[in-house]
């Protein structure tokens, strides 16, 4: 894989999708439909999905492509593929809270090696470089010429005073009970895959998720986290977290900075 080209294409498509999403987000009104799993979908999800899918298929026709909005056509497991959530945090989008992201990742042998997470309403752009290291890009986000790339790295956590981030729309009692088993200095809520990025930048130490997610929800954020020195494991046994599972459903998980003393 030509990782220089891959990263360039993923970054450009994420920015282009972000522009289209923001056009709809800033409009007076937009349509919201309900999918078969009762989750919302908007014209922004569909427009971003079409834009990214077309761009990836043209650039990398040899790679399997899995996207949230076209997931019904991908029932069997694969190990090397591109995976897209064109608008993660649709509930935040609908409620105009801004915590939504564009997510594109490349998975090889079950591991998300490269990824981009773009939060257009927040003006934050995170991605892995060709060598696998993660950065946050600063500046105007020119589509052809990257601006200043600030290397990011996870924190050195203090287990007596952890910084925890949890879901804004999917917080439940089980999550609160688990977090209560740690010594927490501060806690914040965030939507979408931004939670991974907050751990990747050292703004949080720990992100547990005891709820339903799909691989497209996590792959890009997981790639950014890994490229910043972070880790993601299965909740029940702390075993490695992998991608390309049948149906693309995730188990519960914990994303964290190494040094956090995980509890079971």
pLDDT per position as a tens digit, 205-260: 999 999 999 999 999 999 999 999 999 999 999 999 999 998 899 999 999 999 99
Measured from the Cβ of residue 239, the count of other Cβ atoms closer than 10 Å reads: 10
- Is 87 annotated among the ligand-binding residues? yes
- Is 68 annotated among the ligand-binding residues? yes
pLDDT digits over 124-162, tens only?
A: 999 999 999 999 999 899 999 999 999 999 999 999 999
Taking the model in full, what pTM does it have? 0.94
Domains and CATH numbers, the chain: 3-151 (3.30.540.10), 162-256 (3.40.190.80)
- As to burial, measured by CB atoms within 10 angstroms (0-12 exposed, 13-18 middle, 19+ buried), residue 249 is exposed
- Is 88 annotated among the ligand-binding residues? yes
- Is 90 annotated among the ligand-binding residues? yes
- Is 37 annotated among the ligand-binding residues? no
Please, which residues bridge with residue 102 across strands?
Answer: 118
């Amino acid at each position: 894989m030509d990782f220089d080209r891959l990263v360039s294409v993923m970054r450009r498509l994420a920015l282009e999708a972000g522009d289209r999403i923001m056009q709809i987000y800033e409009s007076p009104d937009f349509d919201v439909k309900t999918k078969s799993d009762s989750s919302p979908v908007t014209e922004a999800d569909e427009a971003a999905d079409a834009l990214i899918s077309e761009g990836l298929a043209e650039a990398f026709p040899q790679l399997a492509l899995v996207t949230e909005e076209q997931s019904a056509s991908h029932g069997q497991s694969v190990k090397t593929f591109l995976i897209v959530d064109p608008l993660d945090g649709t509930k935040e989008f609908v409620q105009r809270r801004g915590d939504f992201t564009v997510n594109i990742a490349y998975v090889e042998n079950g591991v998300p090696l490269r990824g981009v997470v773009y939060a257009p309403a927040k003006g934050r752009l995170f991605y892995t470089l060709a060598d696998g290291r993660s950065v946050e890009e600063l500046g105007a986000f020119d589509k052809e010429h990257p601006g200043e790339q600030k290397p990011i790295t996870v924190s050195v956590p203090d287990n007596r005073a952890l910084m925890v981030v949890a879901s804004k729309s999917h917080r439940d009692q089980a999550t609160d009970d688990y977090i209560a088993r740690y010594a927490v200095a501060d806690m914040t809520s965030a939507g979408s895959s931004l939670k991974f990025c907050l751990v990747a930048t050292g703004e949080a130490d720990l992100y547990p998720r005891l709820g339903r997610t799909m691989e497209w929800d996590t792959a890009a954020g997981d790639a950014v986290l890994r490229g910043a020195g972070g880790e993601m494991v299965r909740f029940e046994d702390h075993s490695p977290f992998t991608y390309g599972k049948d149906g693309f459903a995730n188990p519960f998980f914990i994303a964290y900075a190494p040094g956090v003393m995980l509890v079971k």
